[in-house]
Copies of this chain bind each other. A is one copy, B any other.
Amino acid sequence: MSYSTSVQELIDQLGRLPGIGPKSAQRVAFHLLKVPTEDALRLAQAITEAKERVSFCARCFNLSEGGEECQICSDPRRESRMLCVVEDSQDIVAVERTQEFRGRYHVLQGAFSPIDGIGVEQLRIKELMTRVGEEDVDEVIIATNPNLEGEATASLLVKYLEPMGIRVTRIASGLPVGGDLEYADELTLGRALEGRKTLAEGNSLER
């Protein structure tokens, strides 16, 4: 016995989601078949509605619901001199949670990874260049992930932004707060050493 058509179709569609393997897809499908119809349809409805209502911000490519520009771009209280460049919309939520940044964002919609077919063309770099040229930007903070693709993206952006004469910064890498030196990997610890901060200047003549 194999699964009937609609069950198989449901398993297939679920299996296409990221992080959901064939086994999980099967489990989720059977869960959906078991729960009351209204509960299952609420998910179907949520997908349909989100696709109808949510689009990408015309300026920064963040998600935007009900409007051409997103909440942040259309907020006049946000500083326009600082631009934080992130890979994805969910990274904006992470940065916002810190409450340390009051500027605007630019979402690249991915990271440079030629192997996966993501080159300069696939990222919103051209749009970033246009914004830096047109808007009154003093500093671009590159907040791509501190992994291979994110670092490659950062190097790439520096190459594009340097000639424009603006300040380009990169978020710090180092040990996470609450972390433990003993369990830190050597790359992270190396970065933490490299990016060390001066706490006292020592007995230099200038002081």
Which A residues lie at the B interface, using CB under 8 A? 1-7, 9-10, 12-14, 16-20, 24, 26-34, 37, 39-54, 63-66, 71-72, 88-90, 92-93, 96, 109
Q: Is the CB of B31 within 8 A of A27?
A: no
Q: Is the CB of A47 within 8 A of B54?
A: no
User: What is the chain B residue whose CB lies nearest that of A96?
Assistant: B1
Chain B residues with CB under 8 Å of A64's CB are: 4
Q: Is the CB of A40 within 8 A of B32?
A: no
Q: How far is the CB of A14 from chain B (nearest CB, A)?
A: 7
Q: Is the CB of B90 within 8 A of A4?
A: no
Chain B residues with CB under 8 Å of A89's CB are: 30, 33
Chain B residues with CB under 8 Å of A14's CB are: 43, 46
Q: Is the CB of B51 within 8 A of A88?
A: no
| CA of A65 to CA of B1, assembled, Å | 13
Q: Is the CB of A17 within 8 A of B1?
A: no
Q: Is the CB of A51 within 8 A of B37?
A: yes
Chain B residues with CB under 8 Å of A6's CB are: 46, 49-50, 52-54, 65
Q: Is the CB of B50 within 8 A of A29?
A: yes
Q: Is the CB of B33 within 8 A of A28?
A: no
